[in-house]
Amino acid sequence: MLSHPRDPALLPRLGWTLVLLALLAPTFVYTHFNPALLLQPETLGTLGHFVAGFFPPAHEAGFLLEVARETITTLAVATAGLGMALFLGAPLAFVTTRALDLPMSAEARRHPLARGLRPILRGLMIGLRGVPEIVWALLFVRAVGLGSLPAVLALGLAYGGMLGKVYAEILESQPDGPTRALTAQGAGRIQVFFWGLWPQALPELVSYTVYRWECAIRASAVMGFVGAGGIGQLLDTSIKMMNGSEVSTLLLVFLLLVIGTEAISALARRGLESRYGSGVLAAAVATAIGASLAWLWPAWAAAGADLKALWPFAASFFPPEMGAAIWGDLARGTLETLAISILGTTLAFAGGGLLALPASGRFGMPAKAATRLLLNALRGVPDLLWAALAVLALGLGPAAGVLALALHTTGVLGRLFAETLENAPPLPEQALLAAGAGRAAAFGHGVLPEVIVQWLAYTLYRWENNIRIAAVLGIVGAGGLGQQLYLALSLFQEKTAATVIVAMLLLSWLAEETSRHTRLRLAH
Amino acid sequence: MSLAFHDAGLTLQGKPVLSGLNFRLDDGAQVALIGPSGAGKTSLLMLANTLARPTQGTVEPLGQNPWRLRPGPLAALRARIGTVYQTPPLPARQRVVNAVAAGRLASQSVWGSLLALLRPHDPVGVSEALTRVDLADRIWDRCDRLSGGQRQRVGIARVLYQAPRLMLADEPVSALDPRLAEDTVRLLSADARARGATLMMSLHSVDLALAYFPRIIGLRAGRVAFDLPRAAVTSELIAQLYAGEETAPAPALEPGPSALPRSAQC
């Protein structure tokens, strides 16, 4: 008699499924997310009316002129902000990277000051990039007033911390043969950097910087939602006025901007390979930053922002509010943020997985091109902008946040999933098809096991991102901690705002740890 | 004294890599280091060029203990030690002229060396060094456009240009065809002899070692198996040195899922 031993994986699988369901069920409650709401006649009516207004896009000369001006401001803010981030991040990376730590005698090791300084600088960078740029912008608007200056400062600080960390990592990931050889023949730290590390790391550094500039443009385009100038300010007004034709013009301009910057950044990456490419690129960057500052300066001078006001403003956040009254609100906001991020990401996992099939070319070229276009549009519109639009459809509250996260993240994950599908080895599936399996069965048994762990890992990484975003969506009224932050700052309760920011940082740290542990489990 | 090992040993992650090394090289000595793969030849050379710190005993290149020196004197000592690496340490995209000129970085000011990245410093001297490895025509090329053998010769030209007192070479001819390999060993040996410098070279080929080096050190399992003048090295000794099973390298670990590409982070 054959015995039928029980599958040892059965119970753990059942357990994890239950855990996931137990996590997912309350998220619907906390976010009041109800897909059926989207299909209700009155929602559809409002939306239909709004979308019908999209055609034709607004094209009065006065409006277009304003759009042009704000578009240039958006570009200038992104460029100047990235310039500031470079000035901040590059030295931070040079000092904190481990790539230049090479064998030395005990006496010759780093200066004690540098040794003590490094952990402090690393901590500073964590703080700088931990607070989302839109929150920095919100704070600077309160401190130095409306306009583009807060946007530049916000991008400079947040991206400065990010560039510092990523540059250091890029340097550490280079082959260490050249740096070790130069050290072994007596070259100093600066020499080792420029002669051994710089030549090989340059392409990756440039490509990441250019990519950050694309991010900066998207971020700069939504800074207007907190009063920090640019095209976002116009979008904010037009959305609040439910002016469909203006919104459609602005969205078109925005998508053109995103496509244009992608083209420019591709050009920059390729230019680096040519003979005088790096020289031309450096000159172009310097010119762009100079021109941006020249464009922004008149408004800053006219506003007469007083940077000295920053200190008393910063001081007003201390000590953070710890009174009993705040804890209830804080707990509710945290749970809501958590729920938005989990539900939004889960929906995006499903959406991304479904769209990845046609996007990887499984249903022919036309379907592939069309899905790619859809994914790019979903991804190209920043989450905050999706949230502003979702608030129109679902009303104020966390449900709009869920929808916004789901839409944007579907675009991101769909593209990544499609890439893993394209890179998966074709043989297992072909063998199953040749053995007579149906298409779905062949996919499920031949492809899915190959890609699913990577899909889950991507989703977890993206969830880390999303929890940060979920924490700020409240700025446009889409629930979570951001709503409380916005309220506290509007009421000049800086100490309460400080507590909310600390809660955001803790939550995002907690998410990173959870995700890291889960990914480690997945890998085994 | 050009290089002295006193009871030196190296333990990495709890595993002894080298132990009980005791030998000295006089000024102008020429020594070949042979032994099976995994015997510790590279580690020994890295102890000698100050990239690795001995975990037992001391290693004194050029009569100084590098691990007791302050940064200035340490850099000065390192400037007088030159190493040819098995994998030439050339950054991709760097031009050959700078890859060779890097041999004398330690004697330049920081600003001088930064300017030299834009306008190479001593193209004549560099081109002389390249002529000796037969690569003078590639001086303005980028290193990543050279073949493996050419890259290895650029690494050799760098050390020739550095003109160190103590010259270390870790299988410097592994990527060269036999003819070129022989020429190159002869070149390094003649260069060291002409300058009165000391040369220690690890070699895969026992024939090359016996043909060009008066003294041979045989290394096996991290210990010196023999340290003899060439005439005393018998084929029996060689057979013992290489006897036993080939140790296969450990299989690479299955990589986990990859991280989010940087282009999907905002």
Given B92, B105, B265, which is nearest A199 (Cβ)? B92
- Give the residue from chain B lying closest to A211, CA to CA: B263
Given B76, B88, B92, which is nearest A186 (Cβ)? B76
Cβ contact, residue pair B87, A177, below 8 Å: yes
Contact B92, B143 (CB under 8 A): yes
Whether the bond into A56 is cis, omega within 30 of 0: yes
The reported pLDDT for the residue numbered A167 is 95
Question: Domain A71-303, what architecture?
Answer: Orthogonal Bundle (1.10)
Topology, domain A318-523: MetI-like fold (1.10.3720)
Which among B56, B48, B50, B49 is positioned nearest to B8, based on CA atoms? B56
The reported pLDDT for the residue numbered B212 is 95
* Interface residue of A185, A413, A508 to substitute, partner B, most B CBs within 10 Å: A185
Kindly tell me if the per-residue pLDDT of B17 is higher than 90: yes
* Distance separating alpha carbons of residues B153 and B42, to the nearest angstrom: 19
Distance from the B111 Cα atom to the nearest Cα atom in chain A, whole angstroms: 9
Establish if B231 belongs to a structural domain.
Answer: no
* Distance separating alpha carbons of residues B174 and B85, to the nearest angstrom: 10
Taking contacts as CB-CB distances below 8 angstroms, the residues of chain A near B264 are 412, 415-416, 458, 462
Kindly tell me if the per-residue pLDDT of A108 is higher than 50: no
On whether any CB of chain A is under 8 Å from the CB of B85, the answer is yes
Over the stretch B61-101, which tens digit does the pLDDT of each residue have?
Answer: 999 999 988 888 888 999 999 999 998 888 888 889 999 99
The reported pLDDT for the residue numbered A524 is 67
Establish if B99 belongs to a structural domain.
Answer: yes
Cβ contact, residue pair B102, A187, below 8 Å: yes
Which among A233, A98, A87 is positioned nearest to A157, based on CA atoms? A87
The reported pLDDT for the residue numbered A318 is 84
Distance from the B179 Cα atom to the nearest Cα atom in chain A, whole angstroms: 27
On whether any CB of chain B is under 8 Å from the CB of A420, the answer is no
pLDDT above 90 coverage of chain A, percent:
46
* Distance separating alpha carbons of residues A512 and A463, to the nearest angstrom: 9
Establish if B218 belongs to a structural domain.
Answer: no
Distance from the B172 Cα atom to the nearest Cα atom in chain A, whole angstroms: 14
Establish if B213 belongs to a structural domain.
Answer: no
Cβ contact, residue pair B102, A196, below 8 Å: yes
Whether the bond into A12 is cis, omega within 30 of 0: no
- Give the residue from chain B lying closest to A197, CA to CA: B91
Cβ contact, residue pair A519, B81, below 8 Å: no
Over the stretch A43-75, which tens digit does the pLDDT of each residue have?
Answer: 788 788 888 888 888 889 999 999 999 999 999
Region A431-456: mean pLDDT is: 89
| Mean of per-residue pLDDT scores for chain A | 88
Tell me the ipTM for this assembly.
0.82
On whether any CB of chain B is under 8 Å from the CB of A187, the answer is yes
Given A199, A208, A523, which is nearest B93 (Cβ)? A199
For residues A158 and A275, the model is more confident at A158
Tokens 């002229």 belong to which residue? B97
- Per the structure, the count of domains in chain B is 1
Establish if B20 belongs to a structural domain.
Answer: no
Specify the pairing of strand B223-229 against strand B215-220.
antiparallel
pLDDT band at residue B14 using 50, 70 and 90 as cut-offs: confident
Taking contacts as CB-CB distances below 8 angstroms, the residues of chain B near A104 are 71, 74
Would you tell me the crossing angle of helices A231-240 and A383-394 to the nearest 10 degrees?
10
Q: Kindly report the three-state secondary structure assignment for every residue of A115-168.
A: HHHHHHHHHHHHHHHHCCHHHHHHHHHHHHCCCHHHHHHHHHHHHHHHHHHHHH
Residue B57 sits at φ, ψ, to 5 deg, of 65, -165
Region A495-511: mean pLDDT is: 91
Taking contacts as CB-CB distances below 8 angstroms, the residues of chain A near B49 are 184
Chain B segment 151-180 residues within 8 A of A by beta carbon are: 162, 164
Establish if B93 belongs to a structural domain.
Answer: yes
Given B69, B81, B90, which is nearest A105 (Cβ)? B69
Residues of chain A with CATH 1.10.3720.10: 71-303, 318-523
Cβ contact, residue pair B85, A181, below 8 Å: yes
Taking contacts as CB-CB distances below 8 angstroms, the residues of chain A near B259 are 457, 461
Distance from the B106 Cα atom to the nearest Cα atom in chain A, whole angstroms: 5
On whether any CB of chain A is under 8 Å from the CB of B194, the answer is no
The sheet carrying B215-220 orders its strands as B81-84, B166-170, B198-202, B30-34, B215-220, B223-229
- Give the residue from chain B lying closest to A523, CA to CA: B256
Establish if B23 belongs to a structural domain.
Answer: no
- Give the residue from chain A lying closest to B48, CA to CA: A184
Helix (H), strand (E) at residue B18: strand B15-25
A27-31, A79-83, A97-101, A206-210 — most confident range: A79-83
On whether any CB of chain A is under 8 Å from the CB of B132, the answer is no
Q: Which domain holds residue B101?
A: 89-163
Kindly tell me if the per-residue pLDDT of A165 is higher than 70: yes
* Distance separating alpha carbons of residues A191 and B232, to the nearest angstrom: 46
Specify the pairing of strand B81-84 against strand B30-34.
unpaired
Over the stretch B92-132, which tens digit does the pLDDT of each residue have?
Answer: 888 899 999 999 988 888 888 888 888 888 899 999 999 99
Cβ contact, residue pair A185, B52, below 8 Å: no
The reported pLDDT for the residue numbered A276 is 75
On whether any CB of chain B is under 8 Å from the CB of A523, the answer is yes
Is residue A424 classed as helix, strand or coil in its secondary structure? Answer: coil
Taking contacts as CB-CB distances below 8 angstroms, the residues of chain B near A107 are 68-71
Establish if B253 belongs to a structural domain.
Answer: no
The reported pLDDT for the residue numbered B248 is 54
Write down the H helix ranges in chain B: 41-48, 71-79, 96-101, 110-118, 123-132, 148-162, 178-195, 206-212, 235-242
The reported pLDDT for the residue numbered B198 is 97
The reported pLDDT for the residue numbered A86 is 96
Kindly tell me if the per-residue pLDDT of A261 is higher than 90: no
Given A166, A191, A208, which is nearest B105 (Cβ)? A191
